[in-house]
Chain A
Amino acid sequence: MSNNGTYIAGFSGLNIEIGYNNPDAKLLIDFLLGDLQAEPSLVPEIRYDVLVVGRPPKVSLWQGDKLLYFGNSKYTLAYILINEMIYRFIVDHKADLAIHAAALSYSNTGILIPGKSGSGKSTLAAWLTSKGFNYLTDELIFLSKNGVIKPLIRPISLHSDSVSALDDLLNPVKEQILAGQSGIMVPHLVLNTNHVPCTPVVSRILFPEYKHGFGVELTKLSSAKSCFKLIECHVNARNMPDHGFGQLAALTRQTKSYQLTYGGFDGLLDRLRPILFDDK
């Protein structure tokens, strides 16, 4: 029986094929892409190959003849592969706004957490997931014209400098974490086993800012300020007729938005609960 094969992952109208050479490579792909369900009617447009060879194992990532990574780190390979795929999903996508954001849901309430890298959105998403929120993504959503969140579900990716903030949460599950020098990837199911894939409508927008040693500060944002900040996180603007400006403005007019500055989690849930669960 052959150990090699292909895996097809899909997201919002694009399928990507990933070849693998043995069960170790397949495990890595399952870990990374297990939530990205292929669309059966679509032919994959791009192919990558993941190879694991030797003892101790070396891993490599290929796109055709082009070597994208070769080395010891499964984490680095996974990081490069998911970012390559995200780029492919976004680059020609014209149907929805692509927003650099984490997203969660709770009782059909869609919570958008937009932010640039390092803003603390993945850390916040991980912590809230462990408190019972339904994890959707820590990186990218497509947002339809009627405000529906289509999340790119992947393991939660944390930079190494933010891992210590979640030590209590991560230590008990460290066997299931993929770790590298620059960060870790955490399967969302180890933080909350009650995951339900869903596409809720955006109900709240939280712009996070992580400041080490800071308490918790929550500030309501005007629609204009929310739109201004959301524009910074809109990553496929060039695909839209007016760069999606009108759609972002409409969203922020009808959605309550907040700036959340936090340096830890003491009291955080008590501060968030009233604004997440008040009258929509």
Chain B
Amino acid sequence: MKINDSHIPVLNSEFILEKFDNEILLYSVAGTTAVYLNETGYLVWCLCNENRPIGKIIALLEEAYPEQRRYIRDDVIAVINSLAENEVIVLNNE
């Protein structure tokens, strides 16, 4: 699936969260799947919690971390792709 800025990530509520300092693990009992997220992944995952389109998530992070601006889009897309592949999120159209 080709991701675009208007897709809205929606969290899969089957995943249990365990927070370890700045990293998290998500675990789905139904799917017996574990997903590891580093600090960046965790941040993106948190921003997926309020029905924001991906473009808005990128814009929020670019505003918060202007010095990282040139990396943020690729990082966010990579995390979103990984979360979608592991069924942590589903992507809806705006």
Is A245 within 8 A of B18, CB to CB? yes
* Interface secondary structure of A, over-half rule: helix
Is A242 within 8 A of B32, CB to CB? no
Is B29 within 8 A of A225, CB to CB? no
Check A218 for interface membership: any CB of B closer than 8 A: no
Check B48 for interface membership: any CB of A closer than 8 A: no
Residues on A with C-beta less than 8 A from B20 are: 222-224, 227, 249, 252-253
Residue of B nearest to A241 (CB): B29
Residues on A with C-beta less than 8 A from B21 are: 222-224
Residue of A nearest to B19 (CB): A224
- Across chains A and B, the number of contacting residue pairs, with CB separation under 8 Å, is 45
Alpha-carbon distance A245/B19, docked complex (angstroms): 12
Alpha-carbon distance A242/B18, docked complex (angstroms): 12
User: Given the interface contacts A227-B18, A237-B32, does A245 sit within 8 Å of B24 by beta carbon?
Assistant: no
Check B25 for interface membership: any CB of A closer than 8 A: yes
Check A64 for interface membership: any CB of B closer than 8 A: no
Check B34 for interface membership: any CB of A closer than 8 A: yes
Check B16 for interface membership: any CB of A closer than 8 A: yes
Taking the closest CB of chain A, its distance from the CB of B23, in whole angstroms, is 4
Check A54 for interface membership: any CB of B closer than 8 A: no
Residues on A with C-beta less than 8 A from B32 are: 237-238, 243
Check A172 for interface membership: any CB of B closer than 8 A: no
User: Given the interface contacts A242-B29, A243-B27, A249-B25, does A224 sit within 8 Å of B36 by beta carbon?
Assistant: yes
Taking the closest CB of chain A, its distance from the CB of B69, in whole angstroms, is 27
Check A228 for interface membership: any CB of B closer than 8 A: yes
User: Given the interface contacts A242-B16, A245-B18, A246-B18, does A227 sit within 8 Å of B29 by beta carbon?
Assistant: no
Q: Which residues of B contact A (CB under 8 A)?
A: 16, 18, 20-21, 23-25, 27, 29, 32, 34, 36
Q: List 6 A-B contacts (CB under 8 A).
A: A222-B20, A222-B23, A224-B20, A227-B20, A246-B18, A252-B20
Q: Could you list 17 further interchain pairs (A-B, Cβ under 8 angstroms) beyond the known A224-B21, A228-B25, A245-B27?
A: A222-B20, A223-B20, A223-B21, A223-B23, A224-B23, A224-B36, A225-B23, A228-B34, A231-B25, A231-B34, A238-B32, A243-B27, A245-B16, A245-B29, A246-B18, A252-B20, A253-B20
